A and B are shown apart, each in its own frame.
Chain A
Amino acid sequence: MAIQVRKKLVASPNPTTLPNRVDFRQTLRSNQNAEPITAVYATEPDHEVWFLDGQGKQTKEVTRTETVSTADQPVLDQIRLERGPGRGPMPMVQITKTITDSSGIKITGGVCILRIEA
Chain B
Amino acid sequence: MRSSDDSARLSGRRPARRSVIAWMAAAAAIASSGAGRAQCVKPAGDTGFAEIIVNAKAGTFDDVLQFDVPVRLCGTAPDGTQKVFVRYAGARFADLGVNDKCSEITGAQAAADTQHSKLSADFPGSLDGTTFRVVLPRLEAERYYVFCFDFRKMLTAEQKQAFEQAARAAIDEQLRGVASGSLSCADSQRLHAALRASLLAAAGADRVITPGTLFDEPIPAGGGDDCLKNKKLQAFDDAAASVLAPQILRQKILAGDPASGALSYAELQQRLSERLRAVAGHPLLHRVSAGLEAKAQGNPNLHKLLRTDLAEPLALAHRSGAEMSRLAMGQSPAEESKPLDEVWEPRDAAAAAGRYDGLSKSLDRLSALVDQTAAAPATSDLRVDLAPAGQAEITELKRDLAAASGLAFTLSGQAQQVGESLVERNEAREALVAAAKAQVSTIEVANGSTVGNFATAQNYYISADTGIVYAPQIDTGVTYLGANFYLRPVNKDAPLRQLGTFAETFPRRFAFTLGLTVQSIADGGGGNPQTRDNLFGNQALVVGAGVRVTDMIRLGTGALVFRKKDSNPLISRFSTAATYYFTASFDLNVAKSLGGLFK
Interface residues of A (CB under 8 A from B): 1-6, 8, 15, 29, 31, 40, 42-44, 47, 49, 87-94, 96, 98, 101, 103, 105-108, 110-113, 115-118
B residues 516-547 in Cβ contact with A at 8 Å: none
| Distance in angstroms between the alpha carbons of A103 and B263 in the assembled complex | 13
**Which of A89, A91, A107, A118 is within 8 Å of B263, CB to CB?**
A107
Is there an interface contact between B417 and A42, defined as CB atoms closer than 8 Å? Answer: no
**Which of B183, B260, B360, B410 is within 8 Å of A92, CB to CB?**
B183
Is there an interface contact between A105 and B263, defined as CB atoms closer than 8 Å? Answer: yes
Asked if B228 CB lies within 8 Å of chain A CBs, one says: yes
Is there an interface contact between A89 and B252, defined as CB atoms closer than 8 Å? Answer: no
Is there an interface contact between B257 and A94, defined as CB atoms closer than 8 Å? Answer: no
User: Which chain A residue shows the least CB distance to B421?
Assistant: A8
Shortest beta-carbon distance, A1 to chain B, in Å?
4
| Distance in angstroms between the alpha carbons of A96 and B405 in the assembled complex | 26
User: Which chain B residue shows the least CB distance to A99?
Assistant: B262
Evaluate whether A118 and B182 lie within 8 angstroms (CB atoms) in the complex, with A98-B262, A106-B261 already known: no
Known: A94-B180, A107-B414. 6 other contacts (CB 8 A): A5-B417, A8-B420, A91-B228, A91-B233, A113-B248, A115-B234
| Distance in angstroms between the alpha carbons of A89 and B228 in the assembled complex | 7
| Distance in angstroms between the alpha carbons of A107 and B253 in the assembled complex | 7
| A–B complex contacts, Cβ < 8 Å, 28 sampled | A1-B406, A1-B409, A2-B409, A2-B413, A3-B413, A4-B409, A4-B410, A5-B416, A15-B234, A31-B409, A89-B184, A89-B225, A90-B184, A91-B227, A91-B233, A91-B234, A92-B181, A92-B244, A94-B182, A96-B260, A98-B260, A106-B262, A107-B410, A107-B414, A113-B181, A113-B241, A113-B248, A115-B241
**Which of A89, A103, A111 is within 8 Å of B248, CB to CB?**
A111
| 3 pairs of A and B residues whose beta carbons are closest in the complex | A4-B413, A94-B181, A2-B406
| B240: A residues at CB distance < 8 A | 92
**Which of B185, B252, B268, B414 is within 8 Å of A111, CB to CB?**
B252
B residues 354-409 in Cβ contact with A at 8 Å: 360, 364, 402-403, 405-407, 409
Q: By the criterion of a CB under 8 Å from any partner CB, how many residues of chain B are at the interface?
A: 51
| Distance in angstroms between the alpha carbons of A60 and B406 in the assembled complex | 30
Shortest beta-carbon distance, A30 to chain B, in Å?
9
| Most chain A C-beta atoms within 10 Å of own C-beta, residue among B188, B237, B240 | B237
| A101: B residues at CB distance < 8 A | 406, 410
| A31: B residues at CB distance < 8 A | 360, 364, 405-406, 409
Is there an interface contact between A92 and B268, defined as CB atoms closer than 8 Å? Answer: no
| B416: A residues at CB distance < 8 A | 4-5
Asked if B245 CB lies within 8 Å of chain A CBs, one says: yes
Shortest beta-carbon distance, A106 to chain B, in Å?
5
Is there an interface contact between B410 and A105, defined as CB atoms closer than 8 Å? Answer: yes
Is there an interface contact between A3 and B257, defined as CB atoms closer than 8 Å? Answer: no
Evaluate whether A116 and B263 lie within 8 angstroms (CB atoms) in the complex, with A1-B402, A94-B248, A96-B257 already known: no
| Most chain A C-beta atoms within 10 Å of own C-beta, residue among B182, B225, B360, B407 | B182
Asked if B94 CB lies within 8 Å of chain A CBs, one says: no
Asked if B224 CB lies within 8 Å of chain A CBs, one says: yes
| Distance in angstroms between the alpha carbons of A118 and B229 in the assembled complex | 6
Query: What is the count of residue pairs linking A and B with beta-carbon distances less than 8 angstroms?
Result: 140
Interface residues of B (CB under 8 A from A): 180-185, 188, 224-229, 233-234, 237-238, 240-241, 244-246, 248-249, 252-253, 256-257, 259-263, 268, 271, 360, 364, 402-403, 405-407, 409-410, 412-414, 416-417, 420, 424
Shortest beta-carbon distance, B368 to chain A, in Å?
13
| Distance in angstroms between the alpha carbons of A89 and B223 in the assembled complex | 9
Shortest beta-carbon distance, B70 to chain A, in Å?
39
Is there an interface contact between A93 and B406, defined as CB atoms closer than 8 Å? Answer: no
User: Which chain A residue shows the least CB distance to B403?
Assistant: A103
| A47: B residues at CB distance < 8 A | 182, 184
Shortest beta-carbon distance, A91 to chain B, in Å?
5
| Distance in angstroms between the alpha carbons of A110 and B229 in the assembled complex | 28
**Which of B185, B260, B268, B412 is within 8 Å of A40, CB to CB?**
B260
Is there an interface contact between A108 and B249, defined as CB atoms closer than 8 Å? Answer: yes
| Distance in angstroms between the alpha carbons of A15 and B241 in the assembled complex | 11
Shortest beta-carbon distance, B180 to chain A, in Å?
6
Shortest beta-carbon distance, B596 to chain A, in Å?
69
| Distance in angstroms between the alpha carbons of A81 and B41 in the assembled complex | 66
Is there an interface contact between A108 and B262, defined as CB atoms closer than 8 Å? Answer: yes
Shortest beta-carbon distance, B589 to chain A, in Å?
57
**Which of A15, A44, A98, A108 is within 8 Å of B182, CB to CB?**
A44
| Distance in angstroms between the alpha carbons of A15 and B252 in the assembled complex | 23
| Distance in angstroms between the alpha carbons of A47 and B180 in the assembled complex | 12
| A40: B residues at CB distance < 8 A | 260
**Which of B184, B233, B261 is within 8 Å of A98, CB to CB?**
B261
Evaluate whether A2 and B407 lie within 8 angstroms (CB atoms) in the complex, with A42-B260, A91-B228, A108-B262 already known: yes
| A111: B residues at CB distance < 8 A | 181, 245-246, 248-249, 252
| Distance in angstroms between the alpha carbons of A113 and B185 in the assembled complex | 14
| A49: B residues at CB distance < 8 A | 182
| Distance in angstroms between the alpha carbons of A62 and B258 in the assembled complex | 17
| A92: B residues at CB distance < 8 A | 181-183, 188, 237, 240-241, 244
Is there an interface contact between A89 and B182, defined as CB atoms closer than 8 Å? Answer: no
User: Which chain B residue shows the least CB distance to A48?
Assistant: B184
| A42: B residues at CB distance < 8 A | 259-260
| Distance in angstroms between the alpha carbons of A1 and B244 in the assembled complex | 31
Shortest beta-carbon distance, B274 to chain A, in Å?
13
